[in-house]
């Protein structure tokens, strides 16, 4: 694997999930792979889990890791082409990405959407510039439209904890106070549509996701119906795809509560985190027996390690 930007870069999803679960059993068995290899993690936006889990995964494989919070610590980056750089930006992404590629063997990049210009976000303009100029294998640490390391960890978690061959998985929209990216739900949907699960997406009218990501899913605006007999419930807020990046007033009653869990199959509750308590997800669920959010976050290590391992095997 030379690029991990979406589920489309994975040739065998089942094998990758199995690899992640094997690495969980035996984290340090492949330290030779990463010897004298360096991973660069570049963040244009904040991170907790992605940064720490990917760093841990790389260390488990014997790699060195360099982290650059480029939005805070780097020179102000120019992302547009054909501009006279006489404003606040100091360094162009063309040079910055190319130079980083001189120092590392694999690079990871996080770059959220602006949520203003849909074409720019959905064409992955910033992320694709890193691919074009860095010259080394690249991993998405969440781009404008996808968060594949999260989705892989989510699938690993479902495989690990499922109690029947084909569990019912429900992605349900949650309230928030600000517009959030569609990256996590897009990505979760496109992985679930390729997994051996019965997959439903529920959201209030107006929050349709881009159809490319949801082909094969059952889609409803009735949360109660969606939750019936659910084995896994994936909670996430997102802003509208159309009109792009907007949020509509109301829908506070979409927050998941213990009452709503009653109709599920003792559903296990997932969230990518960070989560705003009692706004997106009730504290009673987060602190109760059905929440697996911390376990899920723990699995981020094995997802990242499986991807890094496949990339390192190509570099040998
Ligand atoms: C990001 C998102 O894509 O939804 C990252 C998730 C891994 N989440 C946020 O930006 C949350 C911000 C907030 O204010 O709650």
- Domains observed in the chain: 3-146+299-315 (3.40.50.1370), 150-297 (3.40.50.1370)
Ligand 1 near 276 CB (within 6 A) = yes
Which of 112, 114, 180, 186 has most ligand 1 atoms within 8 Å of CB, for mutation?
180
Q: How confident is the model at residue 316 (pLDDT cuts 50, 70, 90)?
A: confident
pLDDT score recorded for residue 268:
98
Residue located via tokens 């027996």: 289
Predicted confidence (pLDDT) per residue in 240-298, tens digit: 999 999 999 999 999 999 999 999 999 999 999 999 999 999 999 999 999 999 999 99
Note whether 295 and 252 are within 8 A (CB): no
First and final C-alpha spacing in the chain: 12
Residue 64 has pLDDT above 90, yes or no: yes
How far, in Å, CA of 161 to CA of 5, rounded? 26
Global pTM reads 0.98
CA angle 237, 146, 20 (to 5 degrees): 105
Mean pLDDT value across the chain: 98
Ligand 1 near 275 CB (within 6 A) = no
Ligand 1 near 46 CB (within 6 A) = no
For ligand 1, the distance from its centroid to the CA atom of residue 303, given in whole angstroms, is: 20
Ligand 1 near 180 CB (within 6 A) = yes
Predicted confidence (pLDDT) per residue in 138-161, tens digit: 999 999 999 999 999 999 999 999
Ligand 1, atom 9, residue with closest C-alpha: 180
Predicted confidence (pLDDT) per residue in 197-247, tens digit: 999 999 999 999 999 999 999 999 999 999 999 999 999 999 999 999 999
Over range 25-54, report the average pLDDT.
Answer: 98
How far, in Å, CA of 57 to CA of 37, rounded? 13
């Amino acid at each position: 694997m030379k690029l991990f930007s979406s589920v489309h870069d994975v040739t065998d999803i089942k094998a990758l999930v199995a690899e992640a679960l094997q690495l969980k059993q035996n984290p340090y068995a492949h330290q030779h792979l990463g010897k004298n290899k360096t991973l660069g993690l570049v963040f244009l936006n904040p991170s907790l889990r992605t940064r720490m889990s990917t760093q841990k995964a790389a260390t488990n494989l014997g790699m060195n890791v360099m982290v650059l919070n480029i939005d805070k610590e780097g020179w102000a980056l120019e992302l547009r082409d054909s501009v006279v750089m006489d404003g606040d930006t100091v360094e162009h992404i063309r040079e910055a990405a190319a130079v980083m590629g001189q120092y590392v063997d694999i690079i990871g990049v996080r770059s959220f959407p602006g949520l203003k210009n849909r074409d720019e976000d959905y064409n992955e303009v910033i992320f694709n510039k890193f691919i074009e100029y860095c010259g080394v294998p690249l991993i998405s640490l969440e781009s404008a439209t996808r968060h594949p390391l999260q989705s892989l960890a989510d699938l690993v978690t479902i495989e690990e904890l499922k109690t029947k061959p084909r569990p019912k998985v429900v992605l349900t929209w949650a309230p928030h106070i600000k517009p959030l990216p569609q990256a996590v739900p897009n990505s979760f949907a496109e992985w679930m549509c390729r997994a051996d699960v019965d997959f439903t997406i529920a959201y209030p009218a107006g929050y349709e996701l881009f159809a490319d990501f949801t082909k094969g899913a059952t889609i409803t605006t009735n949360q109660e119906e969606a939750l019936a007999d659910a084995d896994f419930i994936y909670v996430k807020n997102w802003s509208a795809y159309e009109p792009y990046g907007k949020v509509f007033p109301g829908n506070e009653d979409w927050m998941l509560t213990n009452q709503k869990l009653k109709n599920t199959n003792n559903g296990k509750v997932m969230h990518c985190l960070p989560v705003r308590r009692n706004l997106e997800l009730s504290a009673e669920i987060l602190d109760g027996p059905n929440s697996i959010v911390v376990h899920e976050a723990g699995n981020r290590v094995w997802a990242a390690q499986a991807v890094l391992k496949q990339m390192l095997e190509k570099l040998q």
